[in-house]
Amino acid sequence: MGSLFIGIGIPFLAILGVVPFIATADVSVLGFPILYFWIFLWFPLTTLCLCLSWHFFDRHQYEDEKN
């Protein structure tokens, strides 16, 4: 269950939970509107969440198969 929360839940909440609040903001980061910056920031962060999820919860299954 923790694997699903880290790999899918955190990115899901980060996008759908925060976007309604920042969609109307007139703030820009590095020249981009905050909404675009936030969404594009979560592309690599989602990959990181999936990597951490695999590393902490599923890696041992593949190491057992190799040996």
Whether 66 shows a pLDDT value over 80: the answer reads no
Other beta carbons less than 10 A from residue 12's beta carbon? 13
Whether 65 shows a pLDDT value over 90: the answer reads no
Residue 1: the pLDDT is 78
CA contacts within 13 A on the Cβ side of 15 = 12
23-61 pLDDT, tens digit each: 999 999 999 999 999 999 999 999 999 999 988 888 877
Residue 60: the pLDDT is 78
pTM: 0.78
pLDDT, greater one: 59 or 13: 13
